[in-house]
Amino acid sequence: MSALTDLTSISLMALKKMAKGRRIKQYYILPKAKLVELLGMPELPAKYKIEKMTITELREIAKERGLRGFWGLNKEDLTRALFPKDNDAVENAPTHQKQKDDRQTSEHQQPEKEDSNDVGVEMVKNA
């Protein structure tokens, strides 16, 4: 318990540096109490270890387990396949997936079909 007491007396900035060294994900937004709790543990919970794994590390684990067809999976799906009991770690993790862009753009004309005399700035009068 003395280690926990020592951690509570340390500044938040120092705790964040320690958390960064231990590779605690999103340490910079955690409150001081949570940082003290996590840094006081001899080993981080599985949730934190799983979240911090890279896609390369996850693929290596899948390869070691003899899984097939995992190369096309993104990190989130691969994590779910490898660690089904820890799905809450995946559910609460922020996703950085590309979102579909539904914005409309104007149609572009073929330059060959445009009148070269018509190219320029149009003067618009205030109404």
Q: Tens digits of per-residue pLDDT, 51-82?
A: 888 999 999 999 999 888 888 889 999 999 89
The pLDDT value recorded for residue 17 is 92
Q: How far apart are CA 81 and CA 55, in angstroms?
A: 13
The pLDDT value recorded for residue 1 is 46
Count of structural domains within the chain: 2
Domain that holds residue 35: 1-43
CB–CB of 73/35 below 8 Å? no
Q: Residue 79, Cβ neighbours under 10 Å: how many?
A: 22
Q: How far apart are CA 94 and CA 91, in angstroms?
A: 8
- Residues in the chain predicted with pLDDT less than 50, given as ranges, are 1, 89-90, 92-97
Residues 38 and 66 in one domain: no
Q: 33: which 2 tokens?
A: 């109490």
Residues 50 and 35 in one domain: no
Residues 4 and 39 in one domain: yes
> Would you say residue 112 lies in a domain?
no
Residues 49 and 35 in one domain: no
Residues 7 and 17 in one domain: yes
> Would you say residue 28 lies in a domain?
yes
Residues 19 and 4 in one domain: yes
